[in-house]
């Protein structure tokens, strides 16, 4: 275009200048977002986006969580990335990995382990139970043995064994053996079956256990069971002790009532029962239990069944104990547990707590808690020093813990720490030094 003697240029879009020599910078206004690189063109521009962004101007953030990459967890969107917060029991980049919680020793006693989510399940062999099949079920707990014929029930793996008293047989000791079936009585003696034995009633002129002895006079000692022999003319006569009868004093009268001892407890009859007060008494024999440092003096005297005996007490504690019925002892009685709940606590209850701890059964399920409790109670202090009885109770608990630990094939560092807490090697108390040696040489396993 010419105008008044000179010419001008009409520029295409994207250019400027007198002769259209300049390309207009379309990136000057900063159209690209989120740090993208702008490349100028002719009446145009292009944005090179950072990873994680898109769009004409890189203004759109890409949502990496949109595809739901987290299989068992929550997705958190990041720049060109995502993070998974996994649910309990899952792990991995996308929460799709369940770690195996089962190992070779997860389940005890041959139990089968099934993996779960941050957990496991043990299918126990018959006869065991517990989270890890650690508990041997006590088949004797249901009292399968016949009480009258059983000496004791022995727990086995998924079974039990009834140890029968003499005169009883079969699996549950419920069969009373007839000892007369072998015809033991001689010389026309008459056999009487009794529990675990027989008695022969001999005719005149014969005596002895099996009527095997020919007797004609007192010189032949025909009277049994301390019977007194007298002669009347050419014949002899036996005068029996109280509750004993028979031609030759061979029978002991069953002189107690069936309910002399309650709850099916066995009441032992016999003419030799004078030391029990009478032949039909049920009682608990005298027994010494406990120490003078815990709950006073445990010197329990002979006590009739059904009675409580309160032991002498010191200025800290007092307690009582009951004599209970049973058919498992010849006396018809057994001592119940010491009723420590009725104790009157003094200012220092450590002796009481240690005594209680020593009475507890230690097993795989409570061994950790028992160990921790023992550690707490065994730390010595000047205000309430450990007594000899406390040391004995500590040693008892340690021996129980060691037995469980040996069975589980675990380490014993905790126990030596406990011993160190209780018994300082520099202590001048000879009793403590001796107890340390005993526990370390006899209680701990040789491989430690």
**Per-position DSSP letters for 265-276, written without gaps between them:** ------TT-GGG
Q: What pLDDT does residue 275 have?
A: 32
Cα-Cα-Cα-Cα torsion 298, 299, 300, 301, nearest 10 degrees, comes to -170
The angle formed by the CA atoms of residues 336, 338 and 344, to the nearest 5 degrees, is 150
Write the pLDDT tens digit of every residue in 233-286: 888 999 988 778 888 888 876 544 333 444 444 455 554 433 333 334 577 887
Using alpha carbons, select from 358, 368, 363 the residue that is nearest to residue 396: 358
CA pair distance 32, 54, nearest whole angstrom: 10
Write the pLDDT tens digit of every residue in 94-132: 998 888 889 888 999 889 999 888 889 999 999 899 999
The angle formed by the CA atoms of residues 155, 158 and 162, to the nearest 5 degrees, is 40
Q: Is 346 left (phi over 0), alpha (psi -120 to 50) or beta?
A: beta
- 299: which 2 tokens? 């010197």
Other CB atoms within 10 Å distance of the CB of residue 250? 24
Mean pLDDT per block of 10 residues along the chain (448 residues) reads 65 84 87 91 91 92 91 91 90 89 89 89 92 90 88 89 88 90 92 84 89 90 89 87 83 51 48 37 70 48 69 48 68 68 49 77 86 82 66 84 72 53 47 41 36
Q: Which domains does the chain have, with CATH numbers?
A: 8-62 (2.10.25.10), 218-259 (2.10.25.10)
- 112: which 2 tokens? 């089968």
Cβ contacts of 409 within 8 Å, gap of 6 or more: none
Angle at which helices 367-378 and 350-359 pack, to 10 degrees?
Answer: 150
Q: Residue 162 pairs with which residues in a beta bridge?
A: 153
Q: What pLDDT does residue 329 have?
A: 67
CA pair distance 158, 139, nearest whole angstrom: 7
Backbone angles phi, psi at 417, to 5 degrees: -60, -45
Q: What pLDDT does residue 312 have?
A: 43
Residue 58: is it exposed, middle or buried by C-beta count within 10 angstroms (0-12/13-18/19+)?
buried
Q: What pLDDT does residue 111 have?
A: 92
- 420: which 2 tokens? 């160190």
Q: What pLDDT does residue 259 have?
A: 38
Using alpha carbons, select from 330, 368, 374 the residue that is nearest to residue 356: 374
Query: E-strand spans in 165-318?
Result: 168-169, 175-176, 190-194, 197-201, 206-207, 213-214, 228-232, 235-239, 244-245, 251-252, 283-284, 287-288, 299-300, 303-304, 308-310
């Amino acid at each position: 275009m010419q105008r008044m003697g000179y010419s001008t240029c009409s520029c295409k879009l994207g250019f400027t200048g007198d002769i259209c020599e300049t390309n207009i910078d379309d990136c000057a206004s900063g159209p690209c977002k989120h740090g993208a690189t702008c490349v100028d063109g002719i009446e145009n521009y292009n944005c090179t986006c950072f990873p994680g962004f898109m769009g004409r101007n890189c203004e759109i953030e890409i949502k990496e969580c949109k595809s739901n990459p987290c299989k068992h967890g929550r997705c958190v969107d990041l720049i060109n990335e995502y993070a998974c917060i996994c649910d309990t029991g899952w792990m991995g980049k996308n929460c799709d990995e369940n770690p195996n919680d089962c190992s070779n020793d997860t389940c005890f006693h041959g139990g089968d382990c099934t993996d779960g989510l941050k957990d496991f399940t043990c299918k126990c062999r018959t006869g065991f139970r517990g989270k890890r099949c650690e508990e041997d079920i006590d088949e004797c707990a249901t009292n399968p043995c016949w009480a009258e014929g059983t000496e004791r029930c022995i727990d086995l793996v998924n079974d039990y064994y009834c140890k029968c008293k003499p005169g009883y047989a079969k699996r549950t000791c419920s069969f009373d053996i007839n000892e007369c079936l072998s015809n033991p009585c001689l010389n026309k003696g008459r056999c009487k079956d009794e529990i675990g034995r027989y008695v022969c009633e001999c005719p005149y002129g014969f005596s002895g256990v099996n009527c095997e002895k020919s007797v004609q006079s007192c010189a032949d000692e025909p009277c049994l069971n301390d019977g007194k022999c007298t002669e009347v003319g050419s014949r002899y006569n036996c005068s029996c002790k109280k509750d004993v009868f028979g031609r030759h004093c061979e029978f002991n009268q069953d002189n107690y009532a069936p309910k002399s001892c309650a709850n099916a407890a066995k009441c032992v009859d016999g003419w030799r029962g004078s030391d029990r007060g009478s032949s039909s008494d049920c009682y608990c024999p005298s027994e010494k239990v406990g120490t003078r440092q815990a709950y006073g003096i445990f010197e329990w005297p002979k006590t009739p069944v059904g009675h409580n005996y309160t032991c002498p007490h010191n200025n800290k504690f007092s307690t009582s104990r009951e004599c209970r019925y049973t058919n498992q002892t010849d006396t018809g009685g057994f001592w119940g547990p010491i009723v420590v709940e009725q104790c009157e606590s003094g200012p220092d209850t450590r002796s009481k707590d240690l005594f209680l701890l020593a009475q507890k059964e230690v097993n795989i399920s409570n061994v950790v808690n028992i160990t921790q409790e023992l550690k707490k109670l065994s730390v010595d202090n000047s205000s309430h020093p450990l007594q000899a009885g406390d040391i004995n109770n500590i040693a008892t608990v340690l021996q129980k813990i060691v037995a469980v630990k040996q069975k589980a094939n675990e380490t014993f560092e905790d126990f030596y720490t406990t011993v160190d807490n209780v018994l300082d090697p520099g202590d001048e108390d000879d009793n403590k030094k001796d107890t340390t040696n005993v526990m370390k040489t006899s209680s701990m396993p040789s491989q430690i």
